[in-house]
């Protein structure tokens, strides 16, 4: 036979026992041609275009899943940042567009649609301000719409006015969805160095340099990497990196296959494979457990940053060779509520926000799905965003904050979001104020790293 | 399909018993699918049989064949699955 029995069994084992799956097929759709001076016309055009282009996304995803026997967990859509699409309406808010996106997502059967977004790293336009003003309501009245805001880049520096504003927006969003533990905040990502072709929610949007329509794929497979690491408890770091590279290569090949098949069946160009290790709350699908398998008693202890650096780099090296087009965020994700090992470590106090922040220096993406006390002041949220954006700006990498000030909850309590969003133990923030710093306003200048020409 | 061929890999995993090969072969024969290769091994304590079949001249669509194999497996207390060959090509061959 063309393949050895061992090779075939290895593939079957990865899928059936180690949770190898394709995390998402995300269709990027340009909505630039939906602009109009009347907001209701924009909303109607947005709805029509999404339904038209994405009508076959879910059936095709299901077909590929069946043909190849690889589970495809999510089918999703990303669109042009709505601040650009709706700007010429002159309206003060774009909730109607968010509602149209939500209806379209429901119509075509995707669980999330990203792109209720604004890019404000150097300043805000009229459209950006209208979008920012609409975020809390839009996330409260819709179910599937995800919002994101880019507040900094290595080239532009950090827009601290926007950072301050987002401290308020995050708190307002939590308050408006207080009956559901502030779930609106789980659909809001604040970025530095956001990427145009990220297939992962909640931060996906269809960047302005992207084509009319494109298919991007996000792979997963923390369980496969974890089992491979566990099998070699005595391997030194060189050997360990090698094992992870080989595993990442195989996982990424599945992403490449699925991306190409989806592109062919949908007659839409293939964009990129995102090499991220994306955990879920399911047993055996945890990034934290990989770090523990490397020899740490609990994720969050000393050595976690080094372990994550090795993991992140080895995943990229293995994956980069497996796909012709690598993009998106491509790195290990360390969301707290979406990773069974992280949840446990947070509950027992093994990991803190400060350690998570340090870990985000060496992986994608940032402080992700972290619940903090409901009475955390907006200036503190803004300062957390500023710290994370500074890490991204200086290191020329993407960083993000997705933080939930859980209404009425305090440290030690737990917030249940359910499904892929998981369970978030409320983590402590520093109690000393950052308000004076955040109130300064203006822009943090671009660092020397941005002057690369 | 990206691989250009129309071959599938059928895997049977479970406790060894009389008639496994006959059962799988009969489903494939009914569908006019040609068995190209066959091998067997063990996966931990379980029996694993692997078959490659060509669907070039098959009378039934892949989805239907896969469903019939799944059903047959269920009736025999085995896990019978079928995947397009491209999966293995992509993962194990550069």
CB contact at 8 A, A57 and A101: no
pLDDT value at B2 more than 60: no
Contact call for B48 and A13, based on CB within 8 A: no
Instruction: Compare CB distances from B2 to A7, A9, A261 and report the shortest one's residue.
Output: A261
CB contact under 8 A, B2 and A253: no
**Residue B1: predicted pLDDT:** 44
Look at B13 and A6 and tell me if their CB atoms are within 8 Å.
Answer: no
- Residue B43 pairs in a beta bridge with B46
Using DSSP's 3-state secondary structure scheme, residue A212 falls into: coil
The structural domains of chain B, ordered by start, are 7-92 (3.30.70.260)
CB atoms A69 and B63 under 8 Å: no
Average pLDDT over residues A8-19: 81
The shortest CB-CB distance from A66 to any of B48, B63, B92 is to B63
Question: Of the ranges A79-88, A251-260, A368-377, which one carries the lowest mean pLDDT score?
Answer: A251-260
Q: What pLDDT shows up at residue A394?
A: 96
Distance (Å) of CA A216 to CA A253, A416, A439, B39: 14, 30, 39, 36
The torsion of the CA quartet A66, A67, A68, A70, rounded to 10 degrees, works out to: -10
Cα A48 from chain centroid (whole Å): 26
Which candidate from A69, A261, A321 shows the least CB-CB separation from B81? A69
From the CA of B39, how many Å to the nearest CA of chain A? 7
Q: Which residues contact A405 (CB under 8 A, 6 or more apart)?
A: A170, A171, A174, A182, A185, A371, A372, A373, A374, A375, A376, A381
Q: In a mutagenesis test of the A interface, which of B89, B90, B93 is the best target, namely the one with the most A β-carbons within 10 Å?
A: B90
| Interval A378-398 mean pLDDT | 97
| In chain A, residues 296-335 whose CB comes closer than 8 Å to chain B | 321
The answer to whether B41 contacts chain A (CB < 8 Å) is yes
pLDDT of residue A411: 96
Q: Is the pLDDT of residue A117 over 60?
A: yes
pLDDT tens by residue, A228-281: 999 999 999 999 999 999 999 988 988 999 999 999 999 999 999 998 898 988
- Say if the Cβ atoms of B48 and A261 lie within 8 Å: no
Q: To which residue do tokens 């994720």 refer?
A: A299
The residues spanned by each domain of chain A are 28-192, 216-438
pLDDT band at A170 (very low <50, low <70, confident <90, very high): very high
Give B79's contacts in chain A (Cβ within 8 Å). Answer: 16
Listed residue (A319, A222, A223, A341) closest to A274, CA to CA = A319
Q: Nearest C-alpha of chain A: how many angstroms from B1?
A: 7
Taking CA–CA distances from A321, the nearest residue in chain B reads B94
Nearest to A81 by CA among A145, A157, A19: A145
Residue A75 pairs with which residues in a beta bridge?
A25
Average pLDDT over residues A35-59: 97
In chain A, pLDDT over 90 holds for what percent of residues? 84
Q: Is A435 or A70 the better-scoring residue by pLDDT?
A: A435
Tens of pLDDT along A267-313? 999 999 998 898 988 888 999 999 999 999 999 999 999 999 999 99
Q: List the single residue in A with minimal CA-CA distance to B46.
A: A9
- A385 in helix, strand or coil? helix
The first and second tokens of residue A450, run together, are 């941005």
Average pLDDT over residues A194-217: 95
Rounded Cα distance, A363 and A315, in Å: 11
Distance in Å, alpha carbon of B18 to nearest chain A alpha carbon: 21
Whether pLDDT at A189 is above 50: yes
Asked if B87 and A5 come within 8 Å (Cβ–Cβ), the reply is no
Average pLDDT score over chain B: 87
The two structure tokens encoding residue A248: 């990442």
**Dihedral (C-alpha) A113, A87, A195, A419: value to the nearest 10 degrees?**
-20
CB pairs under 8 A between A and B: 75
Check residue A337 and report its DSSP letter.
T
Contact B39 A5 (CB under 8 A): yes
Residue A88 has pLDDT above 50, yes or no: yes
Q: Is B1 touching A (CB cutoff 8 A)? A: yes
Residue in A336, A365, A366, A334 with CA at minimum distance from that of residue A348: A336
Among the partner-chain residues A68, A264, A321, the one whose CB lies closest to the CB of B87 is A68
Nearest-Cα distance to chain B for A425, in Å, is 38
Residue A449 per-residue DSSP state: G
Interface check A11 vs B, CB under 8 A: yes
Give the Cβ contact number of residue A133 at 10 Å: 17
CB of B68 within 8 Å of any CB in chain A? no
Taking the C-alpha atoms of residue A245 and residue A411, their distance in angstroms, rounded to an integer, is 38
Given an 8 Å threshold on Cβ–Cβ distance, is A9 in contact with B43? yes
CB spacing of B90 vs A67 below 8 angstroms: no
Largest CA distance in chain A: 70
On chain A, the residues whose CB falls within 8 A of the CB of B90 are 253-254, 256-257
A69 and B83: CB-CB below 8 Å?
yes
Residue A49 has pLDDT above 60, yes or no: yes
Question: Whole-angstrom distance between the N-terminal and C-terminal Cα of chain B?
Answer: 17
Determine, for residues A1 and B37 on separate chains, whether the beta-carbon distance falls below 8 Å. yes
User: What are the start-end ranges of the H helices in B1-94?
Assistant: 20-30, 62-76, 86-92
The pLDDT of A50-61, averaged and rounded, is 96
Query: In the predicted model, what is the mean pLDDT of residues B22-46?
Result: 87
Q: Does domain A28-192 have CATH number 3.30.300.20?
A: no
Whether A216-438 and A28-192 are alike in CATH topology: the answer is yes
Residues in A closer than 8 angstroms to B66, CB to CB, are: 66
Q: CATH number of the domain at A216-438, please?
A: 3.20.70.20
Of A300-304, A377-381, B22-26, the range with the lowest mean pLDDT is B22-26
Which residues in chain A touch residue B43, judged by CB atoms under 8 angstroms apart? 9, 12-13
Cβ neighbors of B74 (< 8 A, separation 6 or more) are: none
Please say whether the beta carbons of A384 and A173 come within 8 A. no
**Amino acid A69: pLDDT:** 85
User: For A151-169, what is each residue's pLDDT tens digit?
Assistant: 999 999 999 999 999 999 9
Q: Closest approach of chain B CAs to the CA of A253, in angstroms?
A: 5
* Inter-residue contact A86 to A126 (CB < 8 Å): no
Render the burial of A435-445: b for 16+ CB within 10 Å, e for the rest.
eeebeeeebbe
CB contact at 8 A, A361 and A304: no
Q: Supply the pLDDT for residue A1.
A: 63
């Amino acid at each position: 036979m063309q393949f050895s029995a061992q090779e075939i069994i290895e593939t079957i084992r990865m899928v059936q026992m180690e949770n190898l799956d394709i995390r998402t097929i995300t269709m990027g759709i340009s909505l630039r041609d939906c602009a109009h001076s009347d907001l209701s016309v924009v909303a109607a055009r947005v709805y029509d275009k999404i339904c038209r282009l994405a009508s076959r996304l879910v059936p095709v995803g299901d077909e590929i899943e069946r043909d190849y026997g690889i589970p495809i967990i999510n089918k999703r859509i990303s669109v042009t940042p709505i601040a650009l699409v709706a700007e010429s309406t002159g309206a003060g808010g774009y909730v109607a567009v968010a509602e149209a996106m939500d209806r379209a997502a429901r119509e075509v059967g995707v669980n999330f649609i990203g792109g209720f977004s604004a890019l404000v790293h150097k300043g805000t336009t009229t459209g950006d301000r209208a979008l920012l003003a609409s975020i809390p309501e839009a996330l409260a009245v819709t179910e599937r719409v995800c919002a994101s805001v880019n507040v900094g880049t290595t080239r532009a520096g950090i827009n601290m006015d926007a950072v301050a504003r987002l401290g308020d927006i995050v708190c307002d969003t939590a308050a408006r969805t207080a009956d559901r533990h502030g779930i609106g905040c789980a659909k809001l990502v604040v970025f530095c160095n956001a990427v145009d072709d990220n297939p992962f929610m909640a931060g996906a949007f269809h960047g302005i340099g992207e084509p009319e329509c494109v298919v991007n794929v996000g792979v997963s497979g923390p369980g496969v990497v974890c089992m491979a690491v566990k099998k070699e408890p005595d391997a030194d770091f060189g050997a360990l990196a090698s094992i992870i590279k080989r595993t990442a290569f195989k996982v990424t090949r599945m992403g490449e296959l699925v991306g190409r098949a989806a592109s062919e069946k949908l007659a839409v160009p293939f964009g990129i494979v995102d090499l991220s290790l994306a955990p879920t709350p399911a047993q055996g699908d945890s990034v934290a457990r990989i770090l523990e398998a490397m020899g740490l008693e609990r994720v969050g202890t000393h050595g976690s940053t080094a372990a994550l650096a090795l993991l992140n780099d080895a995943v990229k090296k293995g994956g980069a060779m497996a796909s012709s087009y690598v993009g998106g965020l491509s790195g290990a994700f360390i969301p707290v509520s979406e990773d069974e090992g992280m949840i446990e470590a947070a509950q027992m106090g093994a990991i803190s926000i400060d350690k998570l922040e340090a870990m985000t220096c060496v992986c994608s993406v940032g402080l992700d799905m972290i619940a903090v006390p409901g009475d955390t002041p907006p200036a503190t949220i803004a300062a957390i965003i500023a710290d994370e954006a500074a890490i991204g700006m200086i290191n020329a990498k993407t960083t993000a904050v997705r933080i939930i000030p859980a209404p009425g909850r305090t440290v030690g309590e737990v917030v249940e979001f359910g499904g892929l969003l998981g369970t978030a133990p409320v983590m402590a923030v520093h109690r000393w104020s950052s308000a004076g710093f955040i109130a300064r306003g203006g822009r943090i200048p671009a660092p020397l790293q941005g002057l690369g020409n | 399909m990206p691989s250009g061929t129309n071959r599938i890999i059928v895997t049977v995993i479970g406790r060894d018993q009389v008639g496994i090969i006959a059962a799988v072969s009969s489903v494939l024969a009914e569908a006019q699918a040609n068995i190209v290769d066959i091998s067997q091994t063990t996966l931990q304590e379980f029996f694993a049989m692997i078959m490659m079949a060509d669907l070039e001249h098959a009378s039934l669509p892949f989805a239907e064949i896969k469903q019939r194999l799944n059903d047959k497996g269920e009736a025999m207390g085995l896990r019978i699955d079928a995947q397009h060959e491209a999966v293995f090509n992509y993962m194990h061959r550069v």
